[in-house]
């Protein structure tokens, strides 16, 4: 199987990172309402909701673009794969 072009892999990583920040960090806005103690009606999603949002965003992007880029939405994963010789070092800076 041929490896996709670097531009396609970078585009997939950009889309996955956007989705992770949009879904995961966006859900933290709703958890902030959960922490407000003076409000009698707590409608926030809480800590479990934020954890599920981050997990589901990574899961959806791994299925959607993982076959293109490998799903390295965290730079630490990319560096770890390069150290383990499963990812080329020349592509790490990009």
Q: Whose structure tokens read 């990812």?
A: 87
Of 32 and 9, the one with more pLDDT: 9
Smallest CA-to-CA distance from 54 within 27, 88, 81 is with 27
Average pLDDT value over all residues in the chain: 84
Query: Is residue 35 pLDDT above 60, yes or no?
Result: no
Longest dimension (CA), the chain: 58
Average pLDDT estimate for 10-20: 90
Write down the CATH number for the domain with range 6-91.
1.20.1080.10
Domain boundaries, the chain: 6-91
pTM: 0.75
State mean pLDDT over 6-11. Answer: 88
The HSE-up count of residue 21 (CA atoms within 13 Å, CB side) is: 7
pLDDT digits (tens, 9 = 90+) for 77-94: 889 989 999 888 998 888
């Amino acid at each position: 199987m041929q490896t996709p072009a670097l531009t396609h892999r970078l585009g997939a990583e950009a889309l996955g990172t956007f989705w992770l920040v949009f879904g995961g960090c966006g859900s933290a806005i709703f958890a902030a309402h959960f922490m407000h103690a003076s409000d009698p009606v707590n409608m926030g999603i809480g800590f479990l909701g934020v954890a599920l949002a981050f997990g589901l965003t990574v899961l959806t992007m791994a299925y959607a673009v993982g076959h293109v880029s490998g799903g390295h939405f965290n730079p630490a994963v990319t560096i770890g794969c390069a150290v383990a010789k499963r990812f080329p070092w020349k592509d790490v800076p990009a």
